Amino acid sequence: MKMELPITEQSNSLSSNIDIQGSDGILRILKQCDAEIFNGWKQHKSLYDFASSLENLSIMAAKIIKNDRGIVVMSGCGTSGRLGFITARSFNQVFPGKFHYTIAGGDRALLLSTEAPEDSWTDGVRDLEKVSTSFEEVLFIGITCGLSAPYVAGQLDYCMKHLEKFCPVLLGFNPVELARQVSIRNWDKTFYDVATAMRSLGEPKCYIINPVIGPEPITGSSRMKSGSATKIILETLFILSANRVMELEPQCRASDIFLSYEILLRCTYLQSKSISRLLKAAGNTFCTGGRVCYLGRDTEGILGVVDASECPPTYGADYDDIRGFLQKSWSALRNNEGDLSQRGPLFNLDWEYFKAEVLPLLSEKDCVIFVGVSPNDAKDLLQLIQEKTCTIGMITTSSPENTIKDPANIISVSISVASEAIEALLPSSFISSSLFTNAASSRFIVSLMSGMCIKWSLNAISTGAHIAKGKVLGNKMIDLQVSNTKLYYRSIGIIQELTGASRHVAEKYLLLSIYGSDTELPTTDEEVLSHISAATGKPLIVPTAILMIRKSDLSVEGAREWLRNQPVLRKGLNNEL
Ligand code: F1P
């Protein structure tokens, strides 16, 4: 029997021709796909169906937050881990020291893709033990969009063995039946085994929050809709919990908070025209060999750094193609391991570093986008960048009455947030609480809201610019890094789908492309891990394999040469998919 593909790995019929759209068309498609976060997908339970589970969970979270020896730990791999980190960082402003995170590969993975540790269930257990050892009660939220990461599976399993201390929560976007059933190295369990064990235990011992939000606009790119839904769910949960800890009346409801995020989505796409101009500018930058730099500060700036960090694994981008810089750098991040800038140039995030090392290299083909920073906040830097004649963009959010006037020669995306969204996210009880002064509470909530709008805008720009560069065929990423088991098998699926080849043939050509030579190689679980290490860091592996199958007379070298001359694969295939 053929196994149904997990929904997070399926292709979205709304976006099947996204690669041949102009920037306005790309945005229209993204808007429709993002709407599925709230509308749901087919017969499955949607976000709103989880409102009461989240409200129950918020009672548990509030109890743990109130306990002097209780903490919340969020954990995940790649984007999921980064969003856990960002949420912990935000809510520590409300309840200092209560929110912790673990991420596969440690803090370097906040910036760089390090997918290999995602496959280690023992690393997950080790990291969880370390963070939780001195506490007596822990709410553990394991985030894995695909219900697939071994790192998270190990942690959830560990929690289930210690229910006297842990309340495990699985957050992801597939039904439990579609959790990953691939064996995990050195373990007798699969992700599916862990998820079904959690389901048998049931609430309130453990929670599974897994609304189905439909396939990603770029197949498998869970940084997009799944990442946004992760952010919405975590923030909703902790806004509810904060209300409970502070014993505020009236209590707000999860569905009201979801509704405000839904309004925020509309507010964001109401600016489609200006986002589209910025997307087009970033696309032109890529097509002429230029670079895109995000310059941001605080949470919005971190979202810029994260958006950029996801492009190398997703699109085979170079780290300098698109890069985020953050005012005050590592001290603004407030991460577990502190300042990592000594680890090499890619760990230098500071605006000062940008000014000294990047700015001198900029020219008219480059594009600099300020994220959450208004022209007045960066006057001097703005002027220096203007002198370099590069394209300048600026993404900000504001309440309707404070909308900034577009500065000359800048593509400005000013997302004006509707007051309805502010009201629901900022319940009156929150404002009048004694723990929170008015100004602090509204600043906090506004930063959550603008973060959401900024994430949607940046995802659209970086995705659209890579489409313009030819890194998407149909709606499939075709130049992904083959750097862990999930990505290895995803690559085989992409090759199969775009060539019609059998699984065996697709894997054969994948290996041919990795090793550059034509020998039959074994594909046992152990061997797959060594194929992954051989593939890690190598460019154009999947496009090379596709091309060799589609143009049967091409050698590996011939295919690589072909791609150097014509990076947009679909054009070279006469527009045929
Ligand atoms: C985790 C993840 C993704 C990343 C890539 C590899 O996925 O790191 O964030 O984009 O697909 O896997 P998941 O565990 O959240 O499904």
**Pairwise pLDDT comparison (148 vs 436), residue with the higher score:** 148
Strand 367-371, strand 292-296: pairing: parallel
CA–centroid distance, 145 to ligand 1, in Å, is 7
Residue 375 pLDDT: 78
Strand 411-416, strand 391-398: pairing: parallel
Q: Is the CB of 149 under 6 A from ligand 1?
A: yes
Q: E-assigned strands of 314-459? A: 322-326, 367-371, 391-398, 411-416
Confidence of residue 446 (pLDDT cuts 50, 70, 90): confident
CA–centroid distance, 415 to ligand 1, in Å, is 28
Owner of token pair 């909703």 = 236
Host domain of residue 198: 42-247
| DSSP β-bridge partners for residue 169 | 141, 207
Residue 24 lies in a domain: no
Residue 3 lies in a domain: no
Clarify whether residues 356 and 312 are in a common domain.
Answer: yes
Clarify whether residues 458 and 560 are in a common domain.
Answer: no
CATH number at residue 234: 3.40.50.10490
Q: For residue 5, give the DSSP letter.
A: P
| CA nearest ligand 1 atom 4, residue | 78
Q: Is the CB of 222 under 6 A from ligand 1?
A: yes
Query: What whole-number percentage of the chain has pLDDT above 90?
Result: 70
pLDDT in tens, 97-146: 999 999 999 999 999 987 778 999 999 999 999 999 999 999 999 999 99
Q: Is the CB of 77 under 6 A from ligand 1?
A: yes
Residue 95 lies in a domain: yes
CATH number at residue 529: 1.10.8.1080
Q: Is the CB of 78 under 6 A from ligand 1?
A: yes
pLDDT in tens, 229-263: 999 999 999 999 988 888 776 677 899 899 989 99
Q: Is the CB of 75 under 6 A from ligand 1?
A: no
Residue 16 lies in a domain: no
Q: Is the backbone of residue 78 left (phi > 0), alpha (psi -120 to 50) or beta?
A: left
Clarify whether residues 149 and 73 are in a common domain.
Answer: yes
Of 469, 502, 530, which residue is a domain's last?
469
Spatial neighbors of 392 by CB under 8 A, at least 6 apart, are 367, 368, 369, 370, 382, 385, 386, 409, 410, 411
Clarify whether residues 47 and 135 are in a common domain.
Answer: yes
When divided into structural domains, the chain yields a total of 3
Confidence of residue 190 (pLDDT cuts 50, 70, 90): very high
Residue 155 lies in a domain: yes
Residue in 9, 10, 75, 80 to alter for ligand 1 test, most ligand atoms within 8 A of Cβ: 80
| 360 and 353 Cβ atoms separated by less than 8 Å | no
CA–centroid distance, 27 to ligand 1, in Å, is 23
Residue 25 lies in a domain: no
CATH number at residue 391: 3.40.50.12620
Clarify whether residues 289 and 241 are in a common domain.
Answer: no
Residue 116 pLDDT: 79
Clarify whether residues 298 and 392 are in a common domain.
Answer: yes
Of 193, 219, 247, which residue is a domain's last?
247
Pairwise CA distance, residues 348 & 353, whole Å: 7
Q: ipTM score here?
A: 0.95
Clarify whether residues 146 and 275 are in a common domain.
Answer: no
pLDDT-wise least confident of 174-178, 372-376, 519-523, 551-555 = 519-523
Clarify whether residues 420 and 438 are in a common domain.
Answer: yes
Clarify whether residues 181 and 278 are in a common domain.
Answer: no
Clarify whether residues 86 and 112 are in a common domain.
Answer: yes
Residue 236 lies in a domain: yes
**Tokens in use for 224?**
């997009």
Residue 402 pLDDT: 52
CA–centroid distance, 434 to ligand 1, in Å, is 40
| 470 and 569 Cβ atoms separated by less than 8 Å | yes
Residue 33 lies in a domain: no
Of 216, 247, 278, which residue is a domain's last?
247
Residue 9 pLDDT: 94
Q: What is the pTM of this model?
A: 0.92
Residue 412 pLDDT: 84
Q: Is the CB of 145 under 6 A from ligand 1?
A: yes
Q: What is the mean pLDDT of the chain?
A: 90
**Pairwise pLDDT comparison (92 vs 562), residue with the higher score:** 92
CA–centroid distance, 318 to ligand 1, in Å, is 19
Residue 295 pLDDT: 97
Confidence of residue 434 (pLDDT cuts 50, 70, 90): very low
Compute and round to an integer the Cα radius of gyration of the chain.
Answer: 23
pLDDT in tens, 327-371: 999 999 999 999 999 999 999 999 999 999 999 999 999 999 999
- Sheet holding 411-416: strands in order across? 322-326, 292-296, 367-371, 391-398, 411-416
**Pairwise pLDDT comparison (284 vs 422), residue with the higher score:** 284
Clarify whether residues 418 and 497 are in a common domain.
Answer: no
Confidence of residue 572 (pLDDT cuts 50, 70, 90): low
Spatial neighbors of 485 by CB under 8 A, at least 6 apart, are 119, 182, 528, 529, 532
Clarify whether residues 127 and 186 are in a common domain.
Answer: yes
